[in-house]
Structure 1
Amino acid sequence: MQPQNRIQPHSTEIEQEVLSACLQGESTSVVGILSPSDFYTTSHQKIYQAIESLSKRMAPVDVLSVVDVLRSINELDACGGASYISSVMNNVPMAINLDHYCKVLKDKSAKRRMIQRCAELAISCYQDEEIGDIYERSKQIVTAADLPSIDRKRAVDISNVYPADKMLEEYRAYVSGMKNNRFVTGIHEIDKRIRGVGGGETLFIIARAGAYKTALLQNLMRNYVNASSWGAVFFSLEMPVPNITERFLQNFDRSSGKEIEDFYSHNLTECIDPIETKFKQQLKRFYVVPTKCSLSDMERYVRLIEDHHKVHIGLIGVDYMGLVNQTGKSEYDKVSEIARGSKDLAKFLNIPVVVLSQINRSGEDGSVEVNIQMGRGSGAIEEAADFMLGLWKEDDNLIAKILKNRKGAPGSKWILELDSSCFFIGPNAIEYNPVQHPARRRRADKEG
């Protein structure tokens, strides 16, 4: 059967079940979740519009009130009359199935929209259009697809109200989740203070170029997959896979990049084999995606990796924020959307998300102490972050400052254990106490 001759996805019975539930006192559980276009049958769309109208006015929703609304706009006969609406109510839906029914309707509605968009794309293929333009439009169709979800957090629903006992239940679930999947940096002094990044939380690391932020993220993610039974996805939007691979090989062998390259160019198997063994052992359940993509693409990649590799992903790392695909009129708009979107991604997947970001020009060459106001573009990074680290170099030292900390005091500064020859960052850190230069000291004394 040709696609144009097929009946579009829908379920008349489930549509009737949902309408019946609304007519029997469950309209507040549905309005705000479904829209009229989620119903396939025209009469059901009109009945639901009447239910939605009554609910928004906080008026009683029942057969009589819906009939009155439809009669007042001359749509009652088009909906089958009062007898049809009464017959719909005769269905006895189970409240426990209502969420499922709503999801089914959202799914089928999304499929109908996708069919329409693909049909429009097919027409373009028959017309005299450039294949590149058609391909780009096809990607936009998939990226912009409003995939269905039942998110009661976005609707006015009693489930969003937390009395004391429910607050305690939520906290117990949070602590339990941290036992299963807690991202710790592996740098002891920092971990003591932030106590791990949990599901739905974000860590932003900000620094100028050349301040080892990519190296830090690679080391942190290596630490995570070694300590956890869960996997991690590294979205390397800037650095190609060979460079990432070489850096990890340097980590494991504590060798320079030139030495690693020589091992392979001269096929020194006695050197290569032990490093590759360690590489595969320590990066088991670690996955690199080197393609520039959007935040919604990242969510899809996580699902794809989980399905293909049969692994549970517990951490996302993004290098770096400025290369995430995002529409926007200005840098401010883009940074704001990506920062907030990263938090939404962490909450949606219920896993930690670590994002690297360049700082603005006030950070100069990466040797100036970083502060929270240096976040590029807008204050959205500070707002979206649960934790923030700033990195800068001073002489041969790499210094990290806790700029924001949901679980304790910010402001502490630490000299990290850095071996710059192989991009290795170890677990030890010592407190940073800057030495004041004589000229600065004389100026401070004079001002005092």
Structure 2
Amino acid sequence: MTENLRMPPQNLEAEQSVLGSLLIDKDAITKIADVLTPQEFYKDGHKIIYECMLELYGAKEPIDLLSLASKLEGKKQLENIGGRSYLANLTNAVPTAANVAHYAKIIRKKAILRKLITTAAEIHEMGYHEDDEVDKLLDEAESRLFRISEWFLKPEFSSIKSLLSEAFDRIDELHKEKGKLRGLRTHYRDLDRKLAGLQKSDLIILASRPSMGKTSFALDIARQVAIREKAGVGIFSLEMSKEQLVDRMLCAQAGVSLWKLRTGNLSDREIPGQESDFSRIGHAMGDLSEAALYIDDSPMSNVMEIRTKCRRLQAEHNLGLVVIDYLQLMEGRVGYSNPDNRVQVVSEISRGLKSIARELNIPVLALSQMSRQVEQRPRSIPKLADLRESGSLEQDADVVMFIYREEMYKKDTTRPHIADIMIQKHRNGPTGTISLFFDENTVSFRNLEQKIEELEY
């Protein structure tokens, strides 16, 4: 009983202080108009007063006792808020308007606490909807809580002076470490030179037609980042199982044929100067077991679920990179987009993935399908317009890369086993094409120089 009679979080004195500040200082409204809404006030009368003040401000009219009373009277709300005497008393609630922003923060904090209480009660009630799908209820519950978080974390302006100070420190650090990549090293030499590594907060789209090797390339990058850069990597595989991914990474790390592994035809005899397949696999297992690689092969995932799992990974395992294979298999959030409109769904997904990259300050590598129209052109060379189902992918992405292997279209090619990585969008750097060697046996990519050295040896 006592619990039910508890007063919701509120601070009427702070509300009166804000309203009084706005009445005694014509410039005070500019400090809070974009961060405080009428709905965040607890007392209904205060909501009405503040809403009228915002209307006066929007109409470029003065916010004073006379104008405000006239506005409220015109809306037949003057008596509801306590009359002219209450407005007059507000001016005595605070001696100066200097702390108006601080009072506004107090009001917002109390409003968020009330919203948490309301949302918790709604989620409590949802728990009794036994006929609904549990995953949908979880998604809706998480969505409601996340909306409170988004509401609370309103962005604020930063002065150019403070930003320049940060920029100088960053530039000075880069100057001291000439030649060192600013981003996360992939260990593909030419790719790292083009991108300066995978940059924090970047959304990177890797696209190709089927069987070009985009999953293999993404796994190679993830594997090398985890093993050689000691960074945590989260892989969300919506197409292939965990077992399939592990087999691929084992073979790529060991340099052993994937087909041999799948058919059990691994050699166990040592040849002078050459390890057996089993020995290589054993060493590869040792390397991979020490890597901070985490795989989720849930077949039906949406941005909210991936965001939640990424937050947990970052908190527990120093997350440095997220890989998603592939985004067209993701679902839109329940109630946020029409599931029958894939363009709308993919647009929501691309915005969500960019939001994850920015929030967690890590690169997100998302694989994407391409439309069939690329194969109707003479050389089938991909373009940005070939990104399937959404132009928003091109807009939201910081980097867009395509994989092109001429041998897939031209059997008598003079460039067998060569894969071109075409960087066709690079928001903060150069575009261009780099070439890698594609090993069909291990289903992995290597630097061309590395493969040439192996052949010569």
TM score, norm. by length of structure 2 = 0.75
Does the aligned pair in 2 maintain the 1:263–1:271 contact within 8 Å?
no
> Which of 416, 419, 424 is the aligned partner of 1:403?
424
1:288/1:103 Cα in 2 relative to 1: closer, same or farther (>3 Å)?
farther
Distance 1:245 1:39, change over 3 A: farther
**Is the CA contact (8 Å cut-off) linking 1:188 and 1:428 kept in structure 2?**
no
Q: What aligned pairs does 1:150-229 form with structure 2 within 5 A after superposition?
A: 150=152, 153=155, 159=157, 168-169=164-165, 171-172=167-168, 182-228=183-229
**1:39 and 1:224, CA in 2 relative to 1: closer, same or farther beyond 3 A?**
farther
1:167/1:330 CA distance change after superposition, 3 Å:
same
2:32 maps to 30
State how far apart, in whole Å, the 2-side matches of 1:201 and 1:110 are.
32
1:133 to partner: Cα distance: 4.3
Letter in 1 for 2:143: T
Distance 1:272 1:40, change over 3 A: farther
| Distance of aligned partners of 1:112 and 1:48 in 2 relative to their CA distance in 1, 3 Å threshold | farther
Q: 2 CA distance for matches of 1:137 and 1:313?
A: 28
Task: Give the structure 1 partner of residue 90 of structure 2.
Answer: 85
Q: Assess, with a 3 A threshold, how the Cα gap between structure 1 residues 364 and 356 changes in structure 2: closer, same or farther.
A: same
Please tell me the residue identity of whatever aligns with 1:85: L
Q: Could you say if the C-alpha distance between residues 347 and 188 of structure 1 is closer, same or farther in structure 2, counting changes exceeding 3 Å?
A: same
Distance 1:167 1:323, change over 3 A: same
CA distance in 1, matches of 2:141, 2:166: 38
Residues 20-71 of structure 1 deviation map (CA, whole Å, 9 limit, x = unaligned)? 6655544333323333222333233223322322332233445665455434
Task: Give the 3-state SS of the residue equivalent to 1:277 in structure 2.
Answer: helix
Does residue 298 (structure 1) correspond to residue 306 (structure 2)? The answer is yes
Per the alignment, do residues 407 and 112 of structure 1 end up closer, same or farther by CA in structure 2, a change over 3 Å counting? Answer: same
> Which whole-Å CA distance do the structure 2 matches of 1:324 and 1:413 have between them?
29
Q: Distance in 2 between matches of 1:107 and 1:428?
A: 56
Contact 1:183–1:198, Cα closer than 8 Å, also in 2: yes
Q: Which residue of 2 aligns with 1:343?
A: 354
- The answer (yes or no) to whether the contact 1:205–1:355 under 8 Å persists in 2 is yes
User: Does the residue aligned with 1:199 lie in a helix, a strand or coil?
Assistant: coil
Q: In structure 2, what is the Cα distance between the partners aligned to 1:194 and 1:4?
A: 58
SS in 2 for 1:131: coil
- CA separation of 1:341/1:139 partners in 2, compared to 1, >3 Å: closer, same or farther? closer
Please say if 1:276 is aligned against 2:285. Answer: yes
Name the SS of the counterpart of 1:297 in structure 2: helix
Q: Which amino acid aligns with 2:393?
A: I
Superposed displacement of residue 289, structure 1: 2.7
Q: Distance in 1 between matches of 2:321 and 2:91?
A: 51
- Contact 2:200/2:363, CA 8 A, preserved across alignment: yes
Mapped to 1, the partners of 2:14 and 2:396 lie a distance apart of: 39
Structure 2 residues without counterparts, runs of 5 or longer: 175-179, 269-276, 408-416, 451-457
Ranges in structure 1 where 5+ consecutive residues have no aligned partner: 431-448
Shift of residue 391, structure 1, vs aligned partner = 0.8
* Equivalences for residues 87-166 of structure 1 within 5 A: 87-90=92-95, 94=99, 97=102, 101=106, 104-105=109-110, 107-118=112-123, 120-121=125-126, 125=129, 131-133=131-133, 136-145=136-145, 146-149=147-150, 150=152, 153=155, 159=157
Q: TM-score, normalised by structure 1?
A: 0.77
2:383 equivalent among 362, 371, 377: 371
Could you tell which deviates more after superposition, 340-349 or 3-12? Answer: 3-12
User: Structure 1 residue 381 and structure 2 residue 402: aligned?
Assistant: no
Q: How many matched pairs? A: 412
Deviation of 1:290 after TM superposition, in Å, equals: 2.5
For the Cα contact (< 8 Å) 2:422–2:434, is it kept in 1?
Answer: yes
